[in-house]
Amino acid sequence: MGKIVYSMAGEGRGHATRVKTIVESLRHEHEIHLLAPGDAYELLAPAYAGTDVHIRRLPALRFGYGRSAAIDPLRTIGGGGKYFAHMPKLRRQVGDFLRKLGPDLAIVDFEPILPRAARDVGVPFISLDHQHVLVVSDFRELPPFLRLCTNAGGVAVRRWSPGQSAIVVSSFYKPPLRTAWRAAQQVGVLLRPQIASRKGERGQHLVAYFRRTVNPNVLDALERLGRDVRVYGAGELPSRGKVSFRPVSEQGFIDDLATSEALIASAGNQVVGEALHLGKPVFGIPEPMNFEQHVNAHFIQTSGAGECSSHDGLTPERIDDFLQRIDEFRARIPTDGHDGTGPALATIRRMLP
């Protein structure tokens, strides 16, 4: 039995969902300690309370959002400044924790403290996330502005999580690898067992997923559809016509998604990959200023499995046109190859006692 320390970003639920998938496959073989900030801690702490999986809370670094649900650069920079001011102290604290624990391996899902502390102490670590797609991928097919964004983002990701022994990129799309990064491993989305074993059923309702704040234009467009739309992630708000807002519920979301006609969502990698595995076409609405989601949206469209729109350009007619072509999109979804859990686990096990 080995000892693993696993940290993750705390913005949104995709990171925690990936982590939980890996933890559930390893927890009976190895001793696991989680370092979880923000949304990730809120999801994982109740799930592992009273179990043999240990969890510690880290401070969270979050995006700042404006009223229109766009990322606010000034708020984000302000919050980031406070976080980075405390980073040296956090690095020492996590380093002391690693020295006492003596782990065999660290795994990092786009979190900056553990990789630095692991290097200080001499613990090897794996970067297992989606964000390294910006580092290892050849994005020459992207439009010029998005290509510029990915180049800048790749530099930021390398600095965010430096010194890993291996890179595993979990993504619903697999662009060519850059020559310098051919050792990186590309795998599909890490599907939680409840989804990996589930078959999609075609229903009449739509599922929408957003993170905390939703642009009013998006809600107006959904309401004007006149369809049963079940919204997750935006909080428990009063219903708007046939648009209902559901409480946080892992099983509730899985059940609704599996029996839906399609997914309408911000273009996060994890939720898009889960929807495609269940055979659900995706209408992506990337968050303004979140260029990673704009890259994801590009690949939703080029795959033929869905459509996308900006927040401001969204209209009921755009969604209705998507729904009119739903069979066309559904036919283009691959029937296999979505789950990257097995290959990711194989890489982790090769680095453990």
| Residue ranges in 244-306 assigned as alpha helix (H) | 250-258, 269-277, 291-303
How many Å apart are CA 307 and CA 319, to the nearest integer?
9
| pLDDT given for residue 39 in this prediction | 87
Residues 15 and 77 in one domain: yes
| Domain extent at residue 223 | 194-331
Residues 172 and 239 in one domain: no
Mean pLDDT confidence for 145-150: 94
Residues 112 and 24 in one domain: yes
State pTM to two decimals. Answer: 0.90
**pLDDT over 70, % of the chain:** 93
| CA 81 to the chain's CA centroid | 24
* Angstrom distances, CA of residue 28 to CA of 3, 25, 108, 125, 344: 12, 7, 20, 20, 17
Residues in Cβ contact with 182 at an 8 Å cutoff, skipping those fewer than 6 apart: none
Residues 141 and 201 in one domain: no
Tokens for 87, please give them.
């980073």
Mean pLDDT lowest among 162-171, 177-186, 288-297, 319-328: 288-297
Residues 91 and 214 in one domain: no
Residues 35 and 180 in one domain: yes
pLDDT 10s digits, 188-244: 999 999 999 999 999 999 999 997 677 888 999 999 999 999 999 888 889 999 999
Residues 237 and 176 in one domain: no
Residues 152 and 203 in one domain: no
| pLDDT given for residue 207 in this prediction | 98
Residues 217 and 131 in one domain: no
CATH no. for residue 138?
Answer: 3.40.50.2000
Task: Evaluate if residue 69 carries a pLDDT over 70.
Answer: no
Residues 174 and 41 in one domain: yes
CA-wise closest residue to 270 among 43, 71, 26: 43
pLDDT 10s digits, 284-340: 999 888 889 999 999 999 999 999 999 888 999 999 999 999 999 999 999 888 999
Residues 20 and 109 in one domain: yes
Task: Evaluate if residue 159 carries a pLDDT over 50.
Answer: yes
Residues 96 and 133 in one domain: yes
How many Å apart are CA 97 and CA 185, to the nearest integer?
29
| pLDDT given for residue 74 in this prediction | 46
Query: What's the number of domains the chain is made of?
Result: 2
How many Å apart are CA 299 and CA 293, to the nearest integer?
10
